[in-house]
């Protein structure tokens, strides 16, 4: 018979940390902490298998679950000497979610469950503290009504604020027991008014309502969005953790908090966290009150006058510090812990590997190797390649003038400039129009997840370093300033005031998540410097990866950027991008308008020196590293103007009439240009175009070599080949150009001629094509389009629905479809190398910078991946992780 419930607490547990898939991360770690003998309130975990059963069986629980829960609940009561639902000595519990991987703020929690009018009175008598009892009761009603009954949190905040205003106080802690008992009654009245039913008084009805709400939150819109953004499988499900309550709201010797065993922004080895006296855990993470630092050193750095936990509760702080050191040594990773102090006694409520900024991830990984906690391979595996994006983009120029308007907490590093938006929906809309946005909120909530993802940065007036905004922003790599208390935000009016300064919707601000500063207007940025821990980790990664990493670069600037990030060559130089500059586009249009080959060659002669100059700059920048140049690919009509005034300008420059130009554009128009007259087809119908490009390439290579530079490793790539004879025809024309140059100059450069594999037929006939091609580069953008019958420009309309409905796991244009497109790649590799052993194989589509696609490329036996310059470090680290975790196909 299946075991649906696993107990923990009192120095023992049914589970261990290795059981994350069954118990969820929180349940597995609660079990592990119990087994380590740490002070964990007793409880039990309902497994993820129950969640799976729940959704597979019309939201019904498996047989035997209720009995198992009753037994586990009785055990918890026995351990702490209380009984669930008993008026005199009530057992109160928390009900929390716990997925396999952390999803901060995405699913639901209920605290103080088991309270009703009778048990609240019994709790007051038992503890001798009526204020504490009714504070806990009103909190429970508010949380249960929101999480289980679906009422808005703000309805109850309005009642609370009204009562505080009536009494003339500002803080919740200034309300007495009578005030709180009255507020609890008002809360119950509001529940009955809005739901048509009394607030549930029966403790077991409350419990099963909360369990159902936690399982239900797995399919909430915000959880679905988070899973989609973080590639978390829907069928994993969540566990439910039911745990005896401990109370941080028992007075000034009680507290609640969150701490990291190292600074999650910098990686520094200090106990870093926040706490609130006389509060419950949700007060910290929800950002409702701005908390105080745990450590004295952090308080001093923040210039805070409010005392730290180290100063207010020194004994509890010392115990917490020891527990954190033990947990970090046990898990061999930086931990994020939640704790409660009840009447001076420490209780641990959770531990997990802490989310961290990219800079911190690098430092922690490198430092732990030096400390002997982990080895180099584990350090490489620990850092998320995608997180390196946080390090690769500009930060504020320290010498630039700035107009500081506010200061908050440095919640997530990096800097961002953008228009101010006050709601998540507004942020998503403006970002969708291609503009940079800063999401400004009093505090964020899980419902803001889509806006936070769309924003360039996040600014909040309330909340601390462990608030929802801070944790989610760090996970997403978004700069964030939180707790900027000077801001007076009026979202309805679309404005925020900072003293006399008023910033309105659409105004530009700049935030610096590294310093916590907010500036009016745009502030100049500076390029990052990748040294220190970054260089150390990248060095370790480079020593073990099998895949080379090249870049997609069309200019010397792109090439320079990529070299700085560690690129080992250019895997795709798109020559058509060189044609769109001012004077060049006129010459290109003259080529298109030419009536015959002679006119076309005359126009091409104007482009030849321009192309040659471009290639000279790129070859010099690459200093002998391989450079793959793709000959002209897009349809000619893309170069023609569309507006009447542009047509007139081009006609004048070309010495022809607007009517002729318009007629030429109509003649070149195609219904489906991506499958039309482009790539090698263009070179076959107008071979003089490819001949001009070949001459420019060869002459540039010779000029660079004659100037004393390293020999150019030249690879000429012919696009969109589907038939071997296409490649044969064009290779012969290119070789004729090389022969002509040798005759003229007495030498020719060394080069390879290959092709892009971007059509299913090319993949299927790769063995034959390899008789001519000296290398293959997989153009997976087009190969995905042609294999799946999808237009990349149009598929977004419905692919989102496919993702939401779990019909596909990933967008195939973001991460390669390993089963379909991947099968074509493997087939082409196998057949190509069967014909030409040692055939060089690479990938140059957008997938070349995606870690999951890079793992596939490693497994398929490719020689290199090529990606945009800023993705080069991502690819280097991902390639190393692939080498550690995945076998390669034989060459």
Query: For 84-103, what is each residue's pLDDT tens digit?
Result: 999 988 999 999 999 988 78
pLDDT of residue 809: 85
Q: Which residues contact 728 (CB under 8 A, 6 or more apart)?
A: 772
Does the pLDDT value for residue 637 go beyond 90? Answer: no
Per-position DSSP letters for 658-690, written without gaps between them: HHHHHHHHHHH--SSGGGSS-THHHHHHSHHHH
Does the pLDDT value for residue 694 go beyond 80? Answer: yes
Rounded Cα–Cα distance for residues 580 and 558 (Å): 16
Task: Tell me what percent of the residues of the chain surpass a pLDDT of 70.
Answer: 95
The count of C-alpha atoms lying within 13 angstroms of the C-alpha of 375, restricted to the half-sphere facing its C-beta, is: 2
Q: Which residues contact 399 (CB under 8 A, 6 or more apart)?
A: none
Q: Which residues contact 339 (CB under 8 A, 6 or more apart)?
A: 256, 257, 258, 259, 320, 346, 347, 348, 349
Of 5, 39, 42, 40, residue with least CA distance to 22: 5
Number of H helices, E strands in the chain: 34, 34
pLDDT mean over 224-252: 87
Lowest mean pLDDT: which of 11-15, 237-241, 523-527, 820-824?
Answer: 523-527
Sign of the Cα pseudo-torsion (255, 261, 263, 265, in order): negative
Cβ atoms of 267 and 260 within 8 Å: the answer is no
Does the pLDDT value for residue 765 go beyond 90? Answer: yes
pLDDT of residue 38: 97
Does the pLDDT value for residue 284 go beyond 70? Answer: no
Rounded Cα–Cα distance for residues 439 and 497 (Å): 15
Most distant pair of Cα atoms in the chain: their distance: 105
Cβ atoms of 344 and 317 within 8 Å: the answer is no
pLDDT mean over 412-418: 88
Tell the burial category of 827 from Cβ atoms under 10 Å away from its Cβ (0-12, 13-18, 19+): middle
Rounded Cα–Cα distance for residues 241 and 355 (Å): 21
Does the pLDDT value for residue 786 go beyond 60? Answer: yes
Q: HEC states along 470-536?
A: HHHHHHHCCCEEECCCCCEEECCCCEEEECCEEEECCCEEEEECCCCEEEECCCCEECCCCCCHHHH
pLDDT of residue 269: 96
pLDDT of residue 285: 60
Cβ atoms of 792 and 811 within 8 Å: the answer is no
Rounded Cα–Cα distance for residues 446 and 461 (Å): 16
List 324, 573, 829, 844, catalytic entry: 844
H-helix or E-strand containing 610?
helix 597-622
Burial pattern 299-309, b for ≥16 Cβ within 10 A else e, equals beebeeeeebb
SS3 159: helix
Does the pLDDT value for residue 530 go beyond 70? Answer: no
pLDDT mean over 476-485: 84
Q: What is the pLDDT of residues 115-138, one digit of tens each?
A: 999 999 999 998 889 999 999 999
pLDDT of residue 30: 97
- CA 632-635-636 angle, to 5 degrees, is 85
The count of C-alpha atoms lying within 13 angstroms of the C-alpha of 10, restricted to the half-sphere facing its C-beta, is: 13
Q: What is the pLDDT of residues 502-529, one digit of tens each?
A: 999 999 999 998 888 999 999 998 766 6
Integer-rounded Cα Rg, in Å, for the chain is 32
Tell the burial category of 267 from Cβ atoms under 10 Å away from its Cβ (0-12, 13-18, 19+): buried
User: Which segment, 218-232, 470-484, 563-577, 626-640, is predicted with the most confidence on average?
Assistant: 563-577
Other beta carbons within 10 Å of 224: 18
Q: Which residues contact 543 (CB under 8 A, 6 or more apart)?
A: none
pLDDT of residue 78: 94
Q: Which residues contact 143 (CB under 8 A, 6 or more apart)?
A: 109, 110, 111, 112, 282
Lowest mean pLDDT: which of 93-107, 455-469, 633-647, 746-760?
Answer: 633-647
Of 771, 858, 875, 870, residue with least CA distance to 822: 858
Rounded Cα–Cα distance for residues 30 and 326 (Å): 15
Q: Is position 468 annotated as part of the catalytic site? A: yes
Lowest mean pLDDT: which of 231-245, 280-294, 391-405, 618-632?
Answer: 280-294
Q: What is the pLDDT of residues 458-476, one digit of tens each?
A: 999 987 765 667 767 775 7
List 468, 637, 847, 858, catalytic entry: 468
Q: What is the pLDDT of residues 26-47, one digit of tens each?
A: 999 999 999 999 999 999 999 9
pLDDT grade for 148, boundaries at 50, 70 and 90: very high
* Per-chain mean pLDDT for the chain: 90
Rounded Cα–Cα distance for residues 748 and 55 (Å): 68
pLDDT of residue 580: 66
pLDDT grade for 658, boundaries at 50, 70 and 90: confident
Of 597, 655, 665, residue with least CA distance to 635: 665
pLDDT mean over 490-511: 93
| Cα 889 → chain centroid | 30
Sign of the Cα pseudo-torsion (396, 397, 399, 403, in order): negative
- CA 547-550-554 angle, to 5 degrees, is 165
Q: What is the pLDDT of residues 819-857, one digit of tens each?
A: 999 999 999 999 999 999 999 999 997 799 899 999 999
Calculate the alpha carbon distances from 313 to 341, 347, 816 in Å: 9, 14, 53
pLDDT of residue 410: 83
Rounded Cα–Cα distance for residues 861 and 866 (Å): 15
Rounded Cα–Cα distance for residues 208 and 60 (Å): 12
The count of C-alpha atoms lying within 13 angstroms of the C-alpha of 240, restricted to the half-sphere facing its C-beta, is: 30
């Amino acid at each position: 018979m299946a075991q649906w419930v696993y107990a923990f607490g009192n120095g023992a547990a049914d589970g261990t940390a290795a059981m994350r898939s069954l118990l969820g991360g929180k349940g597995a770690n609660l079990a592990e902490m119990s087994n380590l003998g740490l002070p964990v309130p007793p409880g039990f975990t309902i497994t993820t298998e129950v969640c799976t059963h729940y959704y597979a069986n019309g939201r019904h629980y498996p047989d035997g679950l209720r009995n198992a829960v009753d037994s586990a609940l009785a055990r918890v009561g026995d351990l702490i000497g209380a009984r669930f639902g008993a008026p005199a000595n009530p057992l109160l519990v928390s009900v929390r979610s716990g997925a396999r991987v952390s999803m901060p703020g995405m699913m639901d929690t209920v605290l103080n469950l088991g309270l009703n009018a009778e048990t609240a009175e019994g709790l007051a008598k038992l503890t001798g503290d009526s204020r504490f009892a009714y504070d806990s009761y009103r909190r429970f009603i508010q949380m249960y009504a929101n999480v289980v009954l679906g009422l808005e949190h703000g309805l109850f905040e309005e009642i609370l604020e009204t009562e505080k205003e009536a009494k003339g106080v500002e803080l919740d802690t200034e309300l007495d027991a009578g005030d709180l008992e009255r507020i609890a009654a008002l809360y119950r009245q509001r529940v009955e008014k809005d739901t048509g039913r009394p607030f549930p008084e029966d403790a077991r009805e409350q419990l099963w309502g909360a369990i159902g709400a936690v399982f239900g939150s797995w399919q909430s819109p915000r959880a679905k969005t988070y899973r989609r953004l973080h590639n978390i499988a829907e069928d994993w499900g969540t566990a439910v953790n039911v745990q005896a309550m401990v109370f941080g709201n028992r007075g000034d010797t009680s507290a609640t908090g969150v701490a990291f065993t190292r600074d999650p922004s910098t990686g520094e080895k200090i106990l870093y966290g926040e706490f609130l006296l006389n509060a419950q855990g949700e007060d910290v993470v929800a950002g409702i009150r701005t908390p105080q630092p745990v450590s004295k050193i952090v308080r001093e750095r923040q210039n805070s006058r409010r005392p730290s936990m180290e100063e207010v509760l020194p004994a509890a702080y010392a115990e917490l510090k020891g527990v954190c050191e033990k947990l970090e040594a046990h898990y061999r990773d930086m931990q994020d812990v939640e704790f409660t102090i009840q009447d001076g006694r420490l209780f641990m409520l959770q531990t997990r590997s802490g989310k961290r900024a990219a800079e911190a991830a690098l430092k922690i990984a490198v430092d732990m190797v030096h400390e002997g906690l982990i080895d180099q391979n584990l350090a490489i595996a620990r850092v998320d390649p995608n997180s390196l994006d946080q390090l690769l983009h500009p930060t504020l120029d320290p010498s630039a003038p700035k107009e500081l308007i506010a200061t908050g907490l440095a919640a997530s590093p990096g800097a961002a400039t953008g228009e101010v938006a006050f709601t998540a929906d507004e942020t998503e809309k403006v970002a969708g129009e291609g503009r940079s946005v800063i999401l400004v909120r009093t505090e964020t909530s899980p419902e803001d997840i889509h806006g936070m993802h769309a924003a360039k940065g996040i600014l909040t007036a309330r909340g601390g370093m462990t608030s929802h905004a801070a944790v989610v922003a760090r996970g997403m790599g978004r700069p964030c300033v939180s707790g900027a208390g000077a801001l007076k935000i009026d979202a309805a009016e679309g404005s925020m005031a900072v003293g006399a300064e008023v910033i309105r919707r659409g105004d530009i601000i700049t935030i610096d998540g590294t310093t916590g500063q907010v500036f009016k207007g745009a502030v100049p940025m500076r390029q990052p410097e990748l040294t220190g821990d970054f260089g150390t980790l990248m060095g370790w990664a480079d020593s073990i990866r099998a895949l080379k990493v090249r870049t997609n670069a069309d200019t010397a600037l792109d090439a320079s950027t990529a070299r700085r990030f560690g690129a080992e060559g250019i895997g795709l130089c798109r020559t058509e991008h060189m044609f769109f500059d001012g004077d060049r586009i006129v010459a290109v249009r003259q080529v298109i308008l030419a009536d015959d080959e002679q006119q076309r060659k005359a126009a091409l002669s104007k482009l030849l020196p321009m192309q040659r100059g471009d290639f000279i700059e790129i070859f010099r920048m690459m200093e002998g590293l391989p450079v793959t140049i793709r000959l002209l690919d897009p349809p000619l009509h893309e170069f023609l103007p569309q507006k009447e005034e542009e047509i007139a300008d081009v006609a004048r420059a070309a010495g022809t009439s607007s009517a002729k130009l318009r007629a030429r554009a109509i003649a070149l128009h195609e219904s489906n240009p991506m499958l039309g007259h482009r790539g090698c087809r263009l070179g076959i119908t107008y071979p003089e175009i490819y001949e001009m490009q070949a001459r420019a390439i060869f002459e540039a290579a010779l000029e660079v070599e004659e100037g004393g530079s390293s020999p150019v490793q030249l690879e000429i790539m012919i696009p969109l080949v589907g038939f071997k004879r296409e490649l044969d025809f064009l290779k012969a024309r290119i070789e004729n150009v090389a022969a002509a140059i040798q005759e003229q100059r007495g030498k020719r450069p060394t080069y390879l001629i290959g092709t892009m594999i971007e059509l299913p037929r090319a993949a299927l006939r790769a063995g034959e094509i390899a008789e001519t091609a000296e290398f293959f580069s997989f153009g997976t953008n087009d190969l995905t389009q042609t294999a799946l019958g999808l237009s990349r420009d149009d598929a977004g309309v419905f692919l989102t629905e496919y993702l939401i409905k779990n019909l596909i796991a990933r967008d195939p244009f973001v991460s390669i479809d390993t089963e379909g497109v991947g099968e074509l790649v493997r087939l082409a590799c196998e057949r190509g190398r069967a014909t030409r052993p040692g055939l060089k194989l690479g990938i140059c589509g957008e997938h070349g910078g995606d870690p999951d696609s890079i793992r596939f490329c490693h497994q398929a036996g490719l020689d290199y991946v090529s990606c945009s310059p800023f993705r080069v470090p991502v690819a280097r680290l991902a390639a190393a992780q692939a080498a550690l975790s995945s076998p390669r196909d034989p060459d």
